[in-house]
Amino acid sequence: MQNKRRREKTMGRAPCCDKASVKKGPWSPEEDAKLKDYIEKNGTGGNWISLPKKAGLTRCGKSCRLRWLNYLRPNIKHGEFSDSEDKVICTLFSSIGSRWSIIASRLQGRTDNDVKNYWNTKLKKKFMSMNQSVEMKSQQVTLLSILQNSTISSPSSLSFTGSFSYSSAAASSSLLSGNSFTSVQESSTGPSQSNSKGQINHVIDQELVEKYDNDDDDDVAFVAQNISDVDYLYNGGSVNQWIEKENGLWEENPFDEIKELIRTNTTSRCNNFLFDE
DNA sequence: AATTAATCCAACCGCAATACG
DNA sequence: ACGTATTGCGGTTGGATTAAT
């Protein structure tokens, strides 16, 4: 790829930057000030490649973009993640995998890099320890073992049966993607309440799932109508919003938003470790 | 107090998708 | 329609900091 790029230098647009003369490494406060000042006054101009020169920086455009998006941009939230943010991350990770930009978009002021770092350094361990009490059943794979054994970016050929503490999004998203699973058992609800048994379960028959394999809309309708034993779902909206059934019916289709995000943000990627190939 | 190990996180890299000429 | 430039994303790295010995 790089050789190809080099060859193409002679014609077409200029390359994004000359790596030899571009500064790398941590940003100084002066550089931060220059970048912030320039963007606040002029915007990004829709072209990151030419921005550093205009802003008086000897940085690659890519580096400027990253610095702005992850650190300098207004309303960035730093510091501790709240419990509700944890829930959102766990829920969405279980349903869509390591799609950090999508997950971050559900958390106000958080960046994909932040969420990714937080997951990799802290939340994954927390999440896994919560699952450690789960009994392994023969020929069934727990979320813990999936997390321990899978390369997240690679879809694994697994069926999932395990304990998941937050919502049934894992099951639903598998359906949305046209993939299948055998069953999901949930150990508790997302919100503070639990049902009378202290446990919420649902099991979806794989044959039924396969019936709806290739039609997203049907999948969603199917899921929404058939998760009869689940009382709460995270709705993919702002932090800690959960959808609750009323009179046994979902007030709105709980999966529309996540489905739309997946639809608009991806075409071919499939990072969900719960998916069958 | 010194050393080592573990953790955290900003930044980089390469790839794929999208925009554009 | 095609090829290249640019953007956006996720994985990874490496330096700084903190904890443990």
In chain A, where are the structural domains located? 23-74, 83-265
Distances in Å between the Cα of A96 and the Cα atoms of A66, A111, A265 are 24, 17, 11
Q: Which pLDDT tens digit goes with each residue over A39-86?
A: 988 888 888 988 988 899 889 888 999 999 999 988 888 888 988 898
Q: Which nucleotides of C are covered by protein (CB under 7 A)?
A: 3-12
A27 touches strand B (CB under 7 A): yes
Q: What is the arithmetic mean of pLDDT over A171-177?
A: 33
**In this complex, which residue's CA is closest to the C1' atom of nucleotide B8?**
A121
Q: Which residues touch strand C (CB under 7 A)?
A: A 5, 8-9, 11-16, 46-50, 61-62, 65-66, 98-102, 112-113, 116-117, 120, 152-153, 265, 269, 271
Question: Which among A189, A187, A188, A228 has a CA at the least distance from the CA of A205?
Answer: A228
Hey, which residues does A249 pair with through a beta bridge?
A246
Which of A154, A164, A142, A144 shows the shortest CA–CA distance to A95?
A: A164
CATH classification (class only), A23-74: mainly alpha
Fill in the DSSP letter of residue A21.
Answer: G
CA of A99 to C1' of B17 (A): 15
Q: Strand B closer than 7 Å to the CB of A49?
A: no
β-pair type (A184-186, A163-164): parallel
Q: What residue has its CA nearest to the C1' of B11?
A: A25
- How many angstroms is C1' of C3 away from CA of A12? 9
Q: Does residue A158 contact residue A273 with C-beta atoms inside 8 Å? A: yes
Q: What is the pLDDT of residue A1?
A: 31
A268-CA/B15-C1' distance, Å: 13
- Taking phi over 0 as left and psi of -120 to 50 as alpha, with beta for the rest, A115 belongs to alpha
Is there contact between A66 and strand B, defined as CB under 7 Å from any strand atom? Answer: yes
Distances (CA, A) of A12 to A5, A9, A53, A177: 11, 7, 20, 39
- Tell me the CA end-to-end span of chain A in Å, nearest whole number: 28
Q: How far is the CA of A158 from the C1' of B10 (A)?
A: 35
pLDDT tens column, A115-169: 999 998 888 887 777 666 554 443 344 444 444 443 333 333 222 323 333 333 3
User: Please, which pLDDT band fits residue A176 given cuts at 50, 70 and 90?
Assistant: very low
Protein-to-nucleotide distance from the CA of A89 to the C1' of B7, whole angstroms: 21
Rounded-to-integer distance, Cα A272 and Cα A172, Å: 12
| φ, ψ for residue A242, nearest 5 deg | -120, 145
- At which residue do the structure tokens 């970048």 appear? A35
Compute the distance between CA of residue A116 and CA of residue A94 in angstroms, rounded to an integer. Answer: 14
Output the distance from A122 CA to B6 C1' rounded to whole Å: 13
3-state secondary structure of A232: strand
- Confidence band (pLDDT; 50, 70, 90) for A260? low
| Long-range contacts at A227-232 (CB < 8 A, ≥ 24 apart) | A227/A168, A227/A171, A227/A172, A227/A202, A228/A202, A229/A200, A229/A201, A229/A202, A230/A167, A230/A168, A230/A186, A230/A200, A230/A202, A231/A189, A231/A195, A231/A200, A232/A167, A232/A189, A232/A190, A232/A191, A232/A193, A232/A200
Residues A267 and A17: their CA atoms lie apart, in Å, by: 29
Specify the residue for token string 């003369």.
A21
Strand B: positions under 7 A of a protein C-beta atom: 7-18, 20
